Chains A and B, each alone.
Chain A
């Protein structure tokens, strides 16, 4: 067979190289570094903005907070607890953002999930706590199914459906709380204690260290075997140094978190240990990362978000994918609601679902998820949620009045979205 003129295409590549994400083409760390720099200059900064934001927020609040209390172990654990809600909300919001949709109702849906669970663990009916959690999540999933079906089957804009949902579930929340206006989980029954203990129950320090070793070892094994296997069989694989760097980074982050949590932060009685909410958040992160990046459904979510028509022509049932994204969004919101309920010791009609939506969107977008669909990972919610949590926590420490907290949070959201828009613009021009 005669060779076609294919080699002429090589000239196109010099232009394309700048835009290629590092793990794809780099074979050595040096090359990886140069490609990464080229990509940042090209407008697609990946995790860089969120890491810079996290560092900046930490430095600013450490300097400004009275006695630099921001970096105290006590406050940092508090920050982790507060961030957990934003992180998990952002995990949920991520599913619909990946499709270029939005869910404005997630704050009040989360609240309903928390309230249903909290009411089920009350002395009557005293439902076992795992069942109560499942029931709360099931209610949220149903709400997601309803909203998702309205969007996909009746072709209503997600913005309008979930804006209506925002009002409806706000109303339903008040109805559920009844005349008491609240429901608590600080009672002494085991089932209430289990919900409360999500945030205020702590893992024994020794067990936390053992758990950390197990987690890091498992992560290292999985990553090492995958990357080494791909390198051996000549498939596209990240350089060895990158694999090692990732493992070391995870180990260091884990050690820091466990070490901070294992410092005694009690005033009168000793309080030590990792709050249960931290492994819970990591479990959700793992589950949604695997679902999105290692399973067929996730691939279809990215395809539908990137090019709905292409996905449809590839035989993907985009209606089901979109509906499921709303279900997963609301259900994950329910997990956040239960964490919130634990953190507040119960739910009241004071819950500000509107603010929670903004935090969820802000966390996901700051983390690197695009509002325009097709780009984002569960990990974005973790990093972005920490930034939002740090701002929320820091502003509180500074004792700024609520109006300033609102204004600053709004500005942070705008800044995050502008990064997203700019990177989209420059990649469109590439």
Chain B
């Protein structure tokens, strides 16, 4: 794939109009963002961001606090509509304006704040907004079975009952439910916003293993993490956001911790041979 050619990064802003056909169809990433901008009032959160998320690969999205990682995730998830830019899904241009748009495409998101309703139980949360009905009534039995299957598949076996309210779960269990909720829909892309931030060692391991299993199933995975150990363990590719700009996008094998930190903090890295990201270092 063209993205795998080295740590050259994908030049942001310079190619907003590039035709998707430029890439051979079999190398077309599942999701391709071009020139995505987003502002909130006076705050410009994203400046012409380009991002490719290929199938069967884990892409880590790194960046300091406030870099725009969550905003980018929410833009893909349809929580915020982008101001400018194009989104290509399997090579076709698409518009994503609502959460339903993105889930219809096969995009599932684990949000940084998890977005679980504490007063509802695990099954109810996992099927929220997509409840199974028979006639006009909820089909609780069918939903409970499917939720139990997914949790077993993910080996989330420690919840005492899947009918307990989410409020009664531990942080790790809540995280597991949020992840299970995202993976049970036969989705093609799963985005996880800091899925291990609040987790202990064992729980972090569980989520990292899960991410690898998703990748093995052929899903595209985007994971946001501040923990570079985790990033280098699971990610095939790393994309670095800094102050709303995509400053680097490269194969993990061509980077090391220091270079990622350099990109996050200064937008450039001297450790990388010829990073076009330096073009934007004045920003």
Contacts and interface: CB of A to CB of B under 8 A. Distances in A.
Interface of A: 1-10, 12-13, 15-17, 19-21, 23-25, 229-230, 233, 235-236, 290, 294-296, 299-300, 302-303, 305-307, 309-316, 374-375, 427, 430
B141 A9 contact: no
A6 B170 contact: no
Contacts of B136: 295
A9 B203 contact: yes
A9 B210 contact: no
Contacts of B201: 5
B210 A4 contact: yes
A307 B115 contact: yes
A360 to B, nearest CB: 22
A187 to B, nearest CB: 40
Interface string B104-147: 00000101010111111100100011110100111001001100
B158 interface: yes
A19 B167 contact: yes
A313 B98 CA distance: 8
A308 to B, nearest CB: 9
Contact of A315 (B100, B124, B137, B176): B100
Contact of A6 (B109, B130, B144, B157): B157
A310 B116 CA distance: 6
B172 interface: yes
B117 A306 contact: yes
B155 to A, nearest CB: 5
Contact of B131 (A4, A6, A16, A296): A296
Given A6-B157, A16-B170, A24 B164 contact: yes
Interface of A, secondary structure class, is helix
Contacts of B279: none
Nearest to A299: B131
A12 B172 contact: yes
Q: Which of A10, A236, A310, A430 has the most CB of B within 10 A?
A: A310
A295 B99 contact: no
B155 A309 contact: no
Most buried by A among B124, B128, B164, B202: B128
A315 B165 contact: no
Nearest to B135: A295
Contact of B158 (A7, A17, A25): A7
A295 B138 contact: yes
A310 B128 contact: yes
B255 interface: no
Contact of B170 (A9, A310, A313, A314): A9
B160 A302 contact: no
Contacts of B164: 16, 20-21, 24-25
Interface string B38-68: 0000000000000000000000000000000
Given A4-B155, A6-B157, A375 B203 contact: no
A9 B202 contact: yes
Contact of A303 (B98, B120, B144, B167): B120
B115 A235 contact: no
Nearest to B178: A310
Contact of A20 (B100, B111, B113, B161): B161
Given A9-B172, A21-B165, A310-B128, A302 B209 contact: no
Contacts of A296: 131, 133, 138
Contacts of B169: 12, 16
Contact of B117 (A10, A230, A235, A374): A374
Of A23, A294, A295, A314, which is in contact with the most chain B CB atoms at under 10 Å from its CB? A314
A276 B81 CA distance: 54
A351 to B, nearest CB: 35
Given A7-B157, A236-B162, A16 B117 contact: no
Contacts of A315: 98-100, 103, 129-130
A316 B116 CA distance: 13
Given A20-B160, A236-B161, A302 B117 contact: yes
Contact of A24 (B79, B121, B131, B156): B121
Nearest to A25: B161
B150 interface: no
B271 interface: no
10 contacts: A4-B155, A4-B209, A7-B157, A12-B170, A16-B164, A17-B160, A19-B167, A20-B160, A309-B113, A311-B117
A353 B254 CA distance: 73
